[in-house]
Structure 1
């Protein structure tokens, strides 16, 4: 009798373990509105709160000071915040690039839309760097032919925006033509030039396709935001000017 019982149990076990092909028969969707009636989880809030407070303290840490508002609307082709971002980048990155390659950076170009916030008058905290550059973009150096530099300048002129260019550039635009100097030396179309920019733009972002397929690409493993933060730490008072790097006649 026991043998028969065990045999029956074994048969049921084999049947229950048999694999069957699962098939999706129905999908049910439900919309759950998130509003003030939904109360936060006390347990989850308790876990998150210490990290939130620590992050808030870090973001509010004052790094520098600005004696005036640095905004994006100071001039047709320049802005105080754009000039500052371009100039601080070449200042901070040049020693690193020189050590890595034994070469120098000729100038910097970013895009107008990439600078996402102004710098208000007063104390400048870590949070401001995140507002200016909320993306994880890294800086790179591209070596471009003279023809590529011509494309870059044509883009700058035709786009009619204050794309940040460092003070190494002296560009005069007049009657559909232009005069270009780089580091006070007339542009030479037969030379190559090393331009500091972001990896986003180097990949053709904002239609800056002239950065693609350079003669040489040097990755620096240095985030644009970190460059800004490091500069803010070093400089007591932020200063920027609208100068003669771009002249429109």
Structure 2
């Protein structure tokens, strides 16, 4: 039996439930609203608050690291930017790792912009490498290294330092390490790359079980910034060139 004190509450719930309407979407429409500096005026208080931070950011991003005698562009299968970035990564990774590294690798799709002729700035490097990918050094068997080279050779997206390769029908026909080592199936080799690829990005899941993995607390972008800064201090401009390390037959 329902207590008299709850009867009014139950009656009210019954009435409210009975009065509820059933709703459904009858139509929909959309309009494009353009927002720019004219239609959306800056808030002066907010602008004033952010100004010191913006000045500091602009100062950092506009720092000139080095100079180039011409535009440095990526390409397939070769490009001056391909060679420059992988050689820079190989050098900086070796310094950080403290031991020789055989090969460096970069994801072709991760190189998002070219570098201009003239000043190379920190902001310019951010445009080339906008992602916070960290440096990883993998120790791979010769078989795994060849699998890596073949995986990215398909589609002419092989961007490497420390190795020269000849590709035929999307497969590596021959590969030679520039440090004098030859690739033997059961020997081991060190490869500097991004954590994105090391963790299976770009369908490279076969790299998840290397002989050894060393995570370096060093952003690849920072490695490139450090490299260009060193080049700038040398006083010599960078001359864009490619050594034809990838050959297509």
User: TM tier, shorter chain?
Assistant: 0.7 to 0.9
Provide Cα deviations, 1:169-203, integer angstroms capped at 9, x if missing partner. Answer: 12123466611222233310111111000011111
Are the structure 2 counterparts of residues 245 and 184 from structure 1 closer, same or farther at C-alpha, using a change threshold of 3 Å?
farther
**So what's the TM-score if we normalise by structure 1?**
0.78
Q: Secondary structure at the match of 2:154?
A: helix
Segment drifting more, 106-115 vs 202-211: 202-211
Match of 1:201 among 197, 203, 206: 197
Aligned position for 1:38: 40
Please, which runs of 5 or more residues in structure 2 have no aligned partner? 1-30
Over 3 Å off, 4+ runs: 31-34, 174-177
Within a 5 Å distance, the mapping from 1:214-233 to structure 2 comes to 214-233=210-229
Contact 2:199 2:205 (C-alpha < 8 Å) held by counterparts: yes
**Number of aligned residue pairs:** 212
Give the C-alpha shift of residue 33 in structure 1: 5.4
Aligned position for 2:175: 180
Give the C-alpha shift of residue 44 in structure 1: 1.1
Q: Secondary structure at the match of 2:202?
A: helix
Give the C-alpha shift of residue 244 in structure 1: 4.0
Within a 5 Å distance, the mapping from 1:41-60 to structure 2 comes to 41-60=43-62
Within a 5 Å distance, the mapping from 1:159-178 to structure 2 comes to 159-161=155-157, 163-166=158-161, 168-174=162-168, 178=173
Within a 5 Å distance, the mapping from 1:62-141 to structure 2 comes to 62-73=64-75, 76-98=76-98, 103-141=99-137
Please, which runs of 5 or more residues in structure 1 have no aligned partner? 1-30
Give the C-alpha shift of residue 120 in structure 1: 0.9
Contact 2:78 2:244 (C-alpha < 8 Å) held by counterparts: no
Are the structure 2 counterparts of residues 144 and 128 from structure 1 closer, same or farther at C-alpha, using a change threshold of 3 Å?
same
In structure 2, distance between residues paired with 1:64 and 1:154: 34
**So what's the TM-score if we normalise by structure 2?**
0.78
In structure 2, distance between residues paired with 1:174 and 1:241: 24
Q: Secondary structure at the match of 1:64?
A: strand
